Structure formats: C-alpha cells, structure tokens
Amino acid sequence: MDGLVYGLVDGGVLIIGAYTGLEIDVWISKLLKKKANPVLAGIIGAALGNTISDFMGAMADPVLRDQVVGITLGCGTAMLLIPLFEWYKKFKIK
C-alpha cells in the first residue's frame, strides 16, 4: 500500500486546515498590507497549502521520503502558472 501514509497526512492537513479556519489567503493580504484580490489570494493560498501538505505527506511516508524534494519542487514550479494566467487574463484580446 505505497503512498498510504502520504495520502493520510496530505488529506489530513487539508481537513485540519479547513476545520481550524486556517486561511492562507488572509495571511497573504496581511503580508501585502493591502486588500488583495480575493480570488487570486485564494488560488495562491490553495497552491501554497497544497505544496505544504504534499511536503508533509512525503516526509511522513517512508516510501516517498526520498522523493520529497522532487514533489515539493514540482508543486512550487506549478505555482509559476499563476502569474502566467494572471498576465493572460490582463492582456487577452476581447
């Protein structure tokens, strides 16, 4: 059952965050010291939360522990799509 521990930790972090009211998007707004676009802040918060929970899951699972760097870098690299989509939304021809 490879990946069982990973899935439990990854999903568990998501559920704990949801039930405790952890709002990464609110932290982002406070960090920027201004009212951030709530949709953009939510997307960034979800992507960052996913990266953190994937990292924690890979660290906890002995089967995936040697892949933690690749998993974390993969999630972080995927976050580069956010500014690309924001740029596209801003400059697309209507």
Domain boundaries, the chain: 4-91
* 75 or 42: which leads in pLDDT: 75
What's the pTM? 0.81
The distance of Cα 40 from the centroid of its chain, to the nearest Å, equals 13
Tens digits of residue pLDDT in 28-65: 777 766 666 778 888 888 898 899 999 999 999 999 99
